[in-house]
Chain A
Amino acid sequence: MTAPALRTSALLRIVTRVAVTLLAVALATAMLDLPSPTTSLAQIVQQHLGDSGVRHPVTAVLLNFRAYDTLLEIAVLLLAVLGGLALRLAAGDSPMPAAASASPVLAGLVHLLVPLIVLLAGYLLWAGAHRPGGAFQAGAVLAAAGVLLRLAGRWTPLLPPSALARGGLLIGFIVFLTVALSALLTGGVLLEYPRTWASELILLIEAVLSVSIGLMLLSLFSGATTPGRR
C-alpha cells in the first residue's frame, strides 16, 4: 500500500535514485579493482583444521578459530530477547489465549512433524562437526517446531517466560562464557580449548547453544504475534 502521504517528494526520489545508482556503480568498480589477497584464510583454516576438534571448516571457524564472534553474537541475541520481552511485558500484553485449532488436519500435521523436527535438529547438531550444520541451524529448526506449536494453538510459550524457560534462554551464553573464562583462569588465553578436549567442549557448547538459540528465536517470534488490538 503506497499512500502518497507515506512517500517523500518526487524531487528527493529522483535525487536518491541517481545517488544510489552511482553508489552501486562505485561499489562494483571498487570490487573490480581489488587486489587479490596475498594470504589465503581458507588455506590457513585447512592447515589448522586438525587442531580444531571438528572436521568441517565453517564449524571450526565459528566455534574455535573465531569463537569470540560467536560468543558476542549470543550476547547480542540475548540482549535482543531481553529488549523484546521488556517491551512486551511493560505493555501489559497478556499472551493470546491459545486458540483451540479447529482444523484436525493442522493438529495431525503438528503431531507428525514436531517429533521429526526435533530429530532433525539433533541430526544437524551432530552433523555440524563434519559437514554443513551446527548449533545455529539446529536452533533455527527447533524454533520452527515451537512456532508450529504456537500457530496450532498448542502452546503459548515464553510470555512471560517461566523459570525453566529463562534458564533455557541463558544456558547457552553461560556455558559458552564459562568455557571461555576457564581457559583464561587455567593460564591460557580467552576461549583457548584444551586440545584433547576440543571436540567434546565444542559439542557441549553447540548442544546448549542450540537449545538457547531455539528458545531465543521462539521468544522473539511469540513476542510479536499478538495483533495490536487497540
Chain B
Amino acid sequence: MSGGLLYAFTGASLVALGLYALIVYAHLLRKILAFNVMGSGVFLVLVGLAQRAGAADPVPQAMVLTGIVVAVSATALALALMRRLFTDSGATTLDETD
C-alpha cells in the first residue's frame, strides 16, 4: 500500500468521524468543528489519491490550497453567525425546544 493511499484512508476516516460528530452533537461550535474535520478529510483524500502512484500532482494540491482558504473564511463566517445567534437569543444550538 502506497503512502498516498494511506493518506486517503486517513482522510476517509476523518470524514466519517466528522460526520458522526456533526450528527450527534447539538452545540453549534462542535458542529462547526466537525464540519472542518470533514473538510480536512476531503482535502486529504484529494491530495492522497492523486499521489498514490508516487509523484505529487500539483493540480489537486492547488485546489486544496484554494479549498483551505475558502474553508477558513467559511468557518469565520459561521462563527460570526453563531456569535450573533448567541448574542441575540442566548442559544448555542438550533434546537427549537430550548
The interface size of chain B toward A, counting residues with CB under 8 Å, comes to 47
Give the dominant DSSP class at B's interface.
helix
Q: What number of residue pairs across chains A and B have CB atoms under 8 A from each other? A: 131
Q: Known: A6-B27, A6-B93, A77-B70. Contact between A69 and B63, CB under 8 A?
A: yes
Q: For B26, list chain A residues within 8 Å (CB).
A: 6-8
Q: Is the CB of B12 within 8 A of A27?
A: yes
Q: Is the CB of B62 within 8 A of A223?
A: no
Give the dominant DSSP class at A's interface.
helix
Q: How far is the CA of A60 from the CA of B76 in the complex (A)?
A: 28
The answer, among A28, A62, A220, A224, for a CB contact under 8 Å with B12, is A28
Q: Known: A28-B12, A66-B63. Contact between A16 and B20, CB under 8 A?
A: yes
> Is the C-beta of A80 less than 8 angstroms from some C-beta in chain B?
yes
> Is the C-beta of A228 less than 8 angstroms from some C-beta in chain B?
yes
B residues engaging A (CB < 8 A)?
Answer: 5, 8-9, 12-13, 15-17, 19-20, 23-27, 30, 45, 49-50, 53, 55-59, 61-63, 65-66, 69-70, 72-74, 76-77, 79-81, 83-84, 86-87, 90, 92-93
Given contact pairs A41-B59, A224-B79, enumerate 4 new A-B contacts (beta carbons under 8 Å).
Answer: A28-B12, A83-B77, A87-B84, A223-B80
CB-nearest residue of chain A relative to B92? A6
Q: How far is the CA of A220 from the CA of B16 in the complex (A)?
A: 29
Q: Identify which of A18-26, A104-112, A116-124 touches chain B.
A: A18-26
> Is the C-beta of A113 less than 8 angstroms from some C-beta in chain B?
no
Q: Known: A20-B17, A28-B12. Contact between A230 and B73, CB under 8 A?
A: no
Q: How far is the CA of A81 from the CA of B70 in the complex (A)?
A: 11
The answer, among A21, A32, A58, A87, for a CB contact under 8 Å with B58, is A58
Q: Is the CB of B76 within 8 A of A80?
A: yes
Q: Is the CB of B80 within 8 A of A84?
A: yes
Q: How far is the CA of A146 from the CA of B19 in the complex (A)?
A: 34
Would you give the shortest CB distance from B24 to chain A, in whole angstroms? 5
Q: For A201, list chain B residues within 8 Å (CB).
A: none
Q: Is the CB of B76 within 8 A of A220?
A: yes
Q: For A230, list chain B residues within 8 Å (CB).
A: 87, 90
Q: Is the CB of B76 within 8 A of A84?
A: yes
A-B pairs with lowest CB-CB distance, top 7: A57-B58, A220-B76, A24-B16, A80-B73, A61-B62, A27-B12, A20-B16
> Is the C-beta of A45 less than 8 angstroms from some C-beta in chain B?
yes
Q: For B25, list chain A residues within 8 Å (CB).
A: 6-8
CB-nearest residue of chain A relative to B68? A136
Q: Is the CB of B9 within 8 A of A28?
A: yes
Q: Is the CB of A84 within 8 A of B77?
A: yes
